[in-house]
Structure 1
Amino acid sequence: MAVKKQVEKDLAKILFVNDKLDRKEVSIRVNVTEKTVGKWVTEGDWEKLRVSLLTTKDNVLKDLYSQLDNLNKEIATRPIVRDIPASLLKPIKLKTSSGDEVLEYPKINVLDYPIKIGNIPNTQDSLVSTQITNNIKKLETETNIGETISVAKALVLFVRSIDSAFANQLTTYCDAYIKQKMTDGSK
């Protein structure tokens, strides 16, 4: 498939799946036949994609923030376990003054022993937290073609409420800009 056709198909997919435009409107915006759009919809199973668009950037960010929050709560509520030698946790036999045998645990001060597991992040916790944080930062700072389309759409809708003729002209410019970004690969 030629680059121009692929760009048209990609733009059509975004308009159909993300913006939920009908086939006719997509064909007009992309400047292809309605039959071509219908073929792309069928071949690419775009109807299913349209329905399953639950994995939006906002939903992914909410999930990542939730994961980070759950990790921090788990760390904060983790019981503190001290590194006490096993030999000190076993009872020892002692004889009383009357000759009876009794089992008694050694007297220890648990604060004398280092924390083995506690409510401080360990190496694994830190790695997971760093990875989640990096993913959040990446999602919050990168702009993809879908976001560009979303902003362009919002701008066109705003302008349409003021000046319908100019909104149609602006739509043409926005579509050209988006096609250019997709052709350049500067998503």
Structure 2
Amino acid sequence: MAKKGRLSREELLQKQELAKLIYITEDVTQKELSERAGVTEKTVSKWIEDEGWAKLKRNIPLTRDELLASWYDELAELKEHIKNKPVGQKFADFKEAQLRRSLLKDIATLEHDSGIPEVISVMTGFVKFIRRNDLDSAKEVSHLADAFIKSKIRG
């Protein structure tokens, strides 16, 4: 059992995951990140350094839509390759069938799965929209958005 005033390991991991998702998907200061995650700036700084979040953020250049478009392009190219085979051989061999199945599965998963990064992106856009008109309301909505995101992380 955690000591009074201290977070349990599970609570700390949840806060770390939330902070990581916010860091990767938004342009925030460490101070804002620490406030939203409910930890100190020192803790956030340690996570960024120890876990290599800056490198991870640089290595996620594709949005969901870009990734889907790329997979659809691959699928179309595979289909064209099979179509251009000689008469009587216009079918997928084992490797092509495996690739097609894998692409279709990945596409279906990404199309139907609204992941946490997308939730964060939408909520962030919504808070920014409100912030332009009413800063006090934006602060309140920001707390509700963070609570919603945390509930999604917990499952």
Task: Please confirm whether the aligned pair reaches a TM-score higher than 0.5, indicating the same fold.
Answer: yes
Q: What is the aligned counterpart of 2:92 among 122, 125, 130?
A: 122
> Which is helix-richer, 1 or 2?
2
AA aligned to 1:64 is W
| Superposed displacement of residue 126, structure 1 | 4.2
Q: Using the alignment, how far apart are the partners of 2:102 and 2:18 within structure 1?
A: 32
Deviations 1:88-128 (A, max 9, x none): xxxxxxxxxxxxxxxxxxxxxxxxxxx3x2xx323534443
Q: What is the aligned counterpart of 2:29 among 8, 22, 25?
A: 22
SS of 1:58's partner is helix
The answer to which structure, 1 or 2, has the higher relative contact order (CA under 8 A, 6+ apart) is 2
AA aligned to 1:4 is E
Does residue 61 (structure 1) correspond to residue 68 (structure 2)? The answer is yes
AA aligned to 1:121 is F
Does residue 174 (structure 1) correspond to residue 145 (structure 2)? The answer is yes
Deviations 1:128-183 (A, max 9, x none): 33332222111100111111111111111122222221111000011111112212
Task: Determine if contact 1:20/1:50 at 8 Å carries over to the other structure.
Answer: no
Task: Determine if contact 1:57/1:139 at 8 Å carries over to the other structure.
Answer: yes
Q: What is the aligned counterpart of 2:58 among 45, 48, 51?
A: 51
> TM-score when scaled to structure 1?
0.71
Q: Using the alignment, how far apart are the partners of 1:174 and 1:37 within structure 2?
A: 20
AA aligned to 1:14 is L
| Superposed displacement of residue 72, structure 1 | 1.2
SS of 2:114's partner is coil
Task: Determine if contact 2:82/2:92 at 8 Å carries over to the other structure.
Answer: no
Residue identity over aligned pairs, in percent, reads 30
Q: Which runs of 5+ in 1 are unaligned?
A: 81-114
